[in-house]
A and B are shown apart, each in its own frame.
Chain A
Amino acid sequence: MDLLPNADQAEITSSVDAFLTAEFPRATVRELIASTDPVDRERWKRCAGLGWFGLGLPEEDGGVGYGVTEEALLFREIGRHLTPGPLLATVLGARVAAAAGATRAAAEILDGHSVVGLAEPAGTDGSARVLDGVSADLVLLLGPDGATLTERAGWATLTPVGCVDPASRLAHGRPGAAAVVARVETEKAAAIRERGVVLTAAMLVGLIEATRDMSTRYACQREQFGRPIGTFQAVKHRCADMAVRAEAAYSLTVLAALLVDRGHPDAALHVAAAKALTGVHAVANAADNIQNHGGIGVTAEHDAHLYLKRAHVLATLFGSRPEHLRAVLAAPGAEQVRDS
């Protein structure tokens, strides 16, 4: 039993961090946010070249062969760096294609040729909310009855809507007659969605840690009344609360990922708990981070608002808090406390 990263896992974290720092510095992220298409195809292919889109796929499916635990470490860094683009939908899309035997589609996703947007049902009338799908090649529709990978070009009506998060591209539409590239149902589809929940929680962990670190740096540097504001207990204790939230979110998400990788009966409870808790903690940390920065924290020029808005998007995707809390309560208690 060890919840700390081993050498391989530490290497994943440090190499992803180094790559994102070099390839997606904040100025680049800002440019991508301001452009019509937040996906830079050249950079996208370099991400693919590092094996990101198949990190958790078995080697026989063209992947790297790690588990969801290692994928969670990748997405934690993506969250921390506010990297734009449908990276998660693309990872899940490759999985759907591989599971359905659509080997060519899978290969094109894995090599960075096909970008996959994400669609979730919006209501019960067949319409969908599409994230980062307008310029994608494929759209992954995660419905209650299955996971369907479709040709984006076939989506007749994709109406762009301004998204609360400027780094995300939102549209409403209907799959209509869009060609189906691959489809999985029942347990396989549920496993794809569960993976999406864990990896969304992991991105939220990245946001929670990034805002903690941003506030800590600022509290050390910013001086008022002749001393760093971090010496004041009101600020210090707010930063301490941010660190407590980060520790809870990180530990729980890692535990949830490990349980999923093992196919453990406690997985469902911990995955739902992780999504519910990371969503709340990410919004709380983002809000505290704005408060800690004072006036500059509410400007568009400062990055603080980007973390808040991304937190709300990720907290909403793959099931909102009420949905996951219902699942938490419906699950049997954890093995640790069940009667033997």
Chain B
Amino acid sequence: MDLDYTHAELDFREEVRTWLAANTPRDTRPPGGQELRAWECAWQRRQFDAGWAGVSWPREYGGRGLSLIELMIWYEEYARAGAPPATMMFVGLNHGGPTLIARADEQQKAYHLPRILRGDVVWCQGFSEPGAGSDLASLRTRAVIDGDELVVTGQKIWTSNADVAEWQELLVRTDPDAPRHKGITWVICDMRAPGIEVRPIETLSGGAHFCEVFYDEVRIPLPNVVGRINDGWSVAMSTLSFERGTAFLASQVELARTVEDLIDVARERTGPDGRRPAIADDEIAHRLATARAEVAALRAMTYAAVSRAARADQPGPEASLLRVFYSELYQRVAALALDVVGAEILDASNTWVSGYLGSFQATIAAGTKDIQRNIIGERVLGLPR
């Protein structure tokens, strides 16, 4: 156990900090749509030009090839600098790209990886279906081989940014008679192909980055299949374990910043008694202190997870411990903010209100808190299924 960084790691932190201080975008981030797309692509391009695109990707594929510790430093500094979280770039950089690196052929890699890194394209994820959420392996979107093409018919849902994406990592059922996990194929889908219809879904927080995607005999060339036909489940699993690991590092620091911001707000705003600052209220002070203590625990759990991953090479089921603690803490902090700002919550444009409304998806996305608890029970503790 130690908290020491090597000289090289300390120099690296300084390099990251200096670059981010000079290059983090300071103009207002557009709320969504094509404007946000252009803005995010430009920020990605700026990172690419300076050699900061694909920080976790191997160097041979144009990435930065950072070690896990360096990656942690990058994300710590990234969040600390207030750099924008990757939203439209997220799937390409953290799901699609890494899956291609792990399982795609050379031609697929040569075409797609540089475009993702440069910020030329947006990727989306076509995994969930109306009947296949937590139970992903029950997916039914059908694909039939016809000549040298797959013909896809069906529906996907909760596809973030499908309305602006060029490419999709798509899971389809190619053998309906095989056991559930054996008849699935992972394929790269061109979102501009005929037969695709995208309908945005408005969420309870008012945003509309979620979409439904309908496929009506969409023709996808067979060379777009990654891995083998019917081997898509194992291809998809390399993506999911990636998501539960390193891609999460920045969120911890962002939440820590949110709690510090909220403490500042509570010092400045008038509290529930109408006279003293909110932080003078015993209940608010107690909850702010608890949130700060729990954020300290989250930081420690993140370090423990990184230490474990550094030894084990890829994240194990213990990542779910961190995921449960983080997502529920995130929601507690979001709810606490409402009590700190008081009657301002009646104003829908208040950022603490949109944060609160947005927090409900924290325990649903990337595996619900119930599924995470099953993983902890069965795979960490060894309880029977």
Write out the residue numbers on chain B whose beta carbons fall within 8 Å of the beta carbon of A326: 285, 289
User: Which residues of chain B from 343 to 379 have any CB-CB distance to chain A below 8 Å in the complex?
Assistant: 370, 372-374, 376-378
Contact of A4 with B383 in the complex, beta carbons under 8 Å: no
Task: Choose one: A9, A233, A259, A273; the contact of B3 (CB below 8 Å).
Answer: A259
1/0 contact trace for B302-335 toward A, CB 8 Å? 0110111011000000100110110000000000
Kindly state the separation between the CA atoms of A274 and B310 in the bound complex, as whole angstroms: 25
Write out the residue numbers on chain A whose beta carbons fall within 8 Å of the beta carbon of B321: 243-244, 247
Closest Cβ neighbor of B4 among chain A residues: A1
Write out the residue numbers on chain B whose beta carbons fall within 8 Å of the beta carbon of A274: 296
> Could you tell me how many residues of chain B have their Cβ less than 8 Å away from some Cβ of chain A?
57
Is B169 part of the contact surface with A, judged by Cβ < 8 Å? no
Contact of A237 with B301 in the complex, beta carbons under 8 Å: no
Minimum CB–CB distance for A115 against chain B, Å: 30
Minimum CB–CB distance for B293 against chain A, Å: 4
* Contact A277 B383, CB 8 Å, known A2-B2, A237-B377, A337-B256: no
Number of contacts between A and B (CB, 8 Å)?
174
Minimum CB–CB distance for B235 against chain A, Å: 28
Minimum CB–CB distance for A268 against chain B, Å: 11
Kindly state the separation between the CA atoms of A17 and B150 in the bound complex, as whole angstroms: 59
Interface of A is mostly: helix
Minimum CB–CB distance for A308 against chain B, Å: 21
Contact of B383 with A336 in the complex, beta carbons under 8 Å: no
Contact of B1 with A247 in the complex, beta carbons under 8 Å: no
Minimum CB–CB distance for B8 against chain A, Å: 13
Write out the residue numbers on chain A whose beta carbons fall within 8 Å of the beta carbon of B297: 248-249, 251-252, 273, 277
User: Which residues of chain B from 1 to 42 have any CB-CB distance to chain A below 8 Å in the complex?
Assistant: 1-5, 9, 17
Write out the residue numbers on chain A whose beta carbons fall within 8 Å of the beta carbon of B80: 336-337, 340
Kindly state the separation between the CA atoms of A9 and B310 in the bound complex, as whole angstroms: 18
1/0 contact trace for A123-159 toward B, CB 8 Å? 0000000000000000000000000000000000000
* Contact A247 B301, CB 8 Å, known A258-B2, A329-B285: yes
Write out the residue numbers on chain A whose beta carbons fall within 8 Å of the beta carbon of B17: 340
Write out the residue numbers on chain A whose beta carbons fall within 8 Å of the beta carbon of B76: 336
Write out the residue numbers on chain A whose beta carbons fall within 8 Å of the beta carbon of B253: 336-337
Contact of A270 with B378 in the complex, beta carbons under 8 Å: no
User: Which residues of chain A from 18 to 65 have any CB-CB distance to chain B below 8 Å in the complex?
Assistant: none
Minimum CB–CB distance for A157 against chain B, Å: 36
Which 5 pairs show the lowest CB-CB distances between chains A and B? A273-B293, A251-B300, A236-B377, A230-B383, A325-B289
Residues of B within 8 A of A (CB): 1-5, 9, 17, 69, 72, 76, 80, 253, 256-257, 260, 263, 279, 285-286, 288-290, 292-301, 303-304, 306-308, 310-311, 318, 321-322, 324-325, 370, 372-374, 376-378, 380-385
Residues of A within 8 A of B (CB): 1-6, 9, 69, 212, 216, 219-220, 227-228, 230-231, 233, 236-237, 239-241, 243-244, 247-252, 254-255, 258-259, 262, 264, 269-270, 272-274, 276-277, 322, 324-326, 328-329, 333-334, 336-337, 340
Q: A273-B297, A325-B293 are in contact. List 10 more A-B contacts (CB 8 A).
A: A1-B69, A1-B72, A3-B307, A236-B373, A247-B322, A254-B1, A273-B292, A276-B293, A326-B289, A329-B288
